[in-house]
Structure 1
Amino acid sequence: MENEKEVIIIGGGLAGLTAAIHLSKRYFSVTVIEKNEFPKHKVCGEYISNEVLPYFEWLDLNISDIKPTTITKLKFSSTNGTSISTDLPLGGFGISRYELDFYLYNKAIENGCKIIKDEVKNVVFNNDLFEVTTENGLHLKSKIVLGAFGKRSNIDLLLNRDFIQKKSPWLAVKAHYSGEFRSEFVGLHNFNGGYCGVSKVENEIINICYLVRYNAFKKYKNITDFQEFVLKKNPHLKKVLENSKLLFEKPLTISQISFEKKLPIENHILMIGDTAGLIHPLCGNGMAMAIHSAKIASDLVEKFLSNKIKSRLVCEKKYTKKWNFNFNNRLKMGRVLAKLLLHPKLSTILLRILIIVPFALKFIIKKTHGKPILVKYK
């Protein structure tokens, strides 16, 4: 069976669903292909900068409906527990991917988007058209495909993307807890081999998500031992973990997370969200970047399909330029910070400098966060 659609989006995560809502609001036919059920927990820091709020308002998304936690401050600590706190210039909010993705999913359906539970088997571009084949035998055709299939996927292998050929040393662990934690804070705490984010999401739930080098993790039998003998060396993490109760049956994990440079376009597919580039979680802004990338791509897709941009090549060049302008420096800063913070002595020196020169921390925050996403149309 062959269907011609105006836009096919591979992946129904944060970026994919945001783009679907945007394009359907502009009266385009949108099909999203997502292999997982909704709702679903995901490994994620679950903090979003308020830079997205003007765009969410234009999308008719009332985030207050899902009761996010308001976050206004950042606390940063080194492995020995020395810490510094500061106000977040724009502030942000905490919301679980379980709630947010489901909210966006329902909004996309309300807008008329078609969401297919299936897995993409192949994507072929020929004669200025894409043909997308799924595991269940669907054959869909479209002039535009957006890639929103996450951090790594079988499609990355199909496209022979550079980063997928390299083994990554990173492992991420995330779980929800009940317990005491000041809701206005997002905490970023170092430990030997990685760093951990702590913040509240909806319903007073504490989200604890950390990134660790696999070589540091594999010395221990399991997550429980690793947290007991490594994370708890940082007194801030010790306090949170010892006074909280795990709400999941067991923590979620994801391995082979790559922070290598990715191209925002592969085989004429416009990549958005983590598929286009992944910022280190210590920057606390990956969700806002995913949302912003969806807007950039959707704006250009609208112009291309409306013949305001005359050629695919021009559309692709504009997307690459806008992606680099908005995100390249933030990604570079994330890599620099990761190298500093994963070196115990350097992270301690950095923290001492920040204590002496506190405005330097606000400078770092500014370099890893964006400005409010402007919406210039009605």
Structure 2
Amino acid sequence: MRTLTSWFNIQRIRSNALQDEVLVVGGGVAGCAASIALARRGRRVTLVEREPTPRHKVCGEFLSGEALDDLRALGINVTSLGAVPIEYVRLAAARRAAEAPLPFPAASLTRKALDTSLIAEAVAAGVRVKCGRSVQSLSRTTGSWQATLDDGSVHEAPTVFLATGKHDLRGHTRPKDPHRWVAFKMYYRLSAAQIADLGEASELTLYSGGYGGIQPVEGGIANFCCVVQQRYFARSALRWENLIANMQQDCPHLAMRLADAEPLLVKPITVTHIPYGYIRRTTEDGLYCIGDQAAVIPSFTGDGISIALHTARSAAAAYLAAEPAPVFQPKLRSAMLPQMRLAEIAANGLSNALARAVLPFCLRIWPGAMRVTARLTRVTQPAAVASQVISS
């Protein structure tokens, strides 16, 4: 009996010695970026992702200059993955369109390709990745967090990085979206003439109750991602076919772009209740909130992936510097607030009928306004700092 008891004690000690230092919940861009940064600094990290394999997600798939810097620091070569260079931003409403060169390098890459590469990089960095498992509950105990997975297993760690994207974890929900935004994503194979006309541009289209973006991605196809307030979707009898028809009626430029286009998904990917403009104010001890769990910027800025990477890098740096999560989170909010508020004001303006009518005309006179807006809504960080935090 004494020998058996000693054996159990040894196993318990070994189990405690191998306990995770950090548990990352969510294996998207933010979760992978944080786990890679921490593992490279010698931390024992487990990442839990509910999807068994990377998949297409509702995302504009725009990679800004800041996002490209962060991805390079993570060891991700987007060019080798087939990313398409994006040189211009184009705004289209009704039959009018105006464009301007982007003030920074940019690219476009499907989330499926990007997430696949990030997961592989996390594994290579030594992260223990558990895919196809979802966290059912996350609770704080004395000095530690306990996550119960859908298979009944329990993971314990003193620190958790919450990176569940637009999906809230039970017990850790964000305020409800007052506008009840609904987002859709569809891939199209455009006609040869429209692919040539779209060129290397990220094209923003305006219509009643929302806006959408269309841009080329790898494989010679185009990503169309759009958001609309639910009351406008209800006017389309809650049917995608009616909604896309109404969008094209509101914006003939979009109708031209999609003429003879072949939809490549059986139905669009959808997500609802997106709390645009949300920025987390506080958090609990040992819980760093990153990505959309930290801030949800309006989609038209194309800065969602950049914010995911920025918040992941910032949180990893704070953790490594022993900065408590309740100190880090409000500091992150203060740093991001100006860009977030400007983006929210601009997004609300795009939903205005008068704005849809006059914006393209105004921007033809002053296309630099698009470049200014693009710059002011970036969440920036010097590339050297990003490389130091992630690559060390």
* TM-score, reference length from structure 2: 0.87
Percent pairwise identity? 24
- Distance of aligned partners of 1:265 and 1:65 in 2 relative to their CA distance in 1, 3 Å threshold: farther
**Correspondence 1:74 to 2:89:** yes
Match of 1:163 among 169, 175, 187: 175
Aligned pairs for 1:254-269 (under 5 A) are 254-263=271-280, 265-268=282-285, 269=287
Distance (Å, rounded) in 1 between the aligned partners of 2:129 and 2:281: 24
Paired residue for 2:247? 230
Contact 1:296/1:319 (8 A) holds in 2 = no
Q: Is the contact between residue 25 and residue 59 of structure 1 (CA under 8 Å) also seen in structure 2?
A: no
Identify the residue that residue 151 of structure 1 maps to in structure 2.
Answer: 166
Is 1:207 aligned to residue 220 of structure 2?
A: no
Q: Distance in 1 between matches of 2:221 and 2:282?
A: 37
Map of 1:338 onto structure 2: 347
Aligned to 2:331: 321
Q: Any residues of structure 2 matched to 1:1-378 within 5 Å, and which?
A: 4-78=19-93, 80-116=94-130, 117-153=132-168, 155=169, 157-159=170-172, 161-164=173-176, 168-179=179-190, 180-181=194-195, 182-221=198-237, 222-263=239-280, 265-268=282-285, 269-304=287-322, 309=323, 312=324, 315-325=325-335, 327-371=336-380, 373-376=382-385, 377=388, 378=392
Asked if structure 1 preserves the Cα contact closer than 8 Å seen for 2:211 and 2:228, the reply is yes
1:320 deviation in Å? 2.6
Deviation at 1:335, TM superposition (A): 1.2
Q: Evaluate the alpha carbon distance shift between residue 100 and residue 178 of structure 1 in structure 2; reply closer, same or farther with a 3 A threshold.
A: same
Deviation at 1:99, TM superposition (A): 0.7
| Deviations, residues 92-124 of structure 1 (Å, cap 9, x unaligned) | 110011111111111111211111131112222
Q: 1:362 & 1:168 partners in 2: Cα distance?
A: 28
Does the 8 A contact of 1:200 with 1:207 survive in 2?
yes
Q: Which amino acid is 1:84 matched to?
A: A
**Is the Cα contact below 8 Å between 1:264 and 1:271 reproduced in 2?**
no
Contact 2:187 2:264 in 1 (8 A): yes
Q: Describe the shift of the 1:66–1:295 C-alpha distance in structure 2 as closer, same or farther (beyond 3 A).
A: same
* Letter aligned with residue 39 of structure 2: S
Report the Cα distance in structure 1 between the residues aligned to 2:82 and 2:282, rounded to whole angstroms: 35
- Between 38-47 and 350-359, report the one with greater CA deviation: 350-359
CA RMSD across the alignment: 2.0
Distance 1:23 1:371 in 2: 21
CA contact (8 A) 1:162 1:262 kept: no
SS at match of 1:73: strand
Query: Which structure 2 segments of 5+ residues have no match?
Result: 1-11
2:219 counterpart SS class: helix
Contact preservation (8 Å) 1:55, 1:375 = no
**C-alpha separation in 1, matches of 2:174 and 2:27:** 24
Aligned-pair distance for 1:265?
4.1
The one-letter amino acid of 1:257's match is I
Task: Give distance in 1, aligned partners of 2:318 and 2:29.
Answer: 19
In structure 1, give the amino acid aligned to 2:314. I
**In 2, Cα distance between equivalents of 1:22 and 1:328:** 25
- The answer to whether the 8 Å contact 2:214/2:224 transfers is yes
CA spacing shift, 1:137–1:297, aligned 2, 3 Å? same
Once the two structures are superposed, what CA deviation does each residue of 1:319-361 show, in whole Å capped at 9, x if it has no partner? 4313431x21221112111211111113333444333333222
Change in CA separation of 1:373 and 1:41 when aligned onto 2, cut-off 3 Å? farther
> Aligned residues, how many?
364
Secondary structure of 1:63's match? coil
Secondary structure of the structure 1 residue equivalent to 2:80:
helix
The whole-number CA distance in structure 2 between the counterparts of 1:275 and 1:192 is 28
- Distance in 2, matches of 1:255 and 1:231, equals 22
Range that drifts further, 29-38 or 47-56 = 47-56
> Which of the two has higher C-alpha Rg?
2
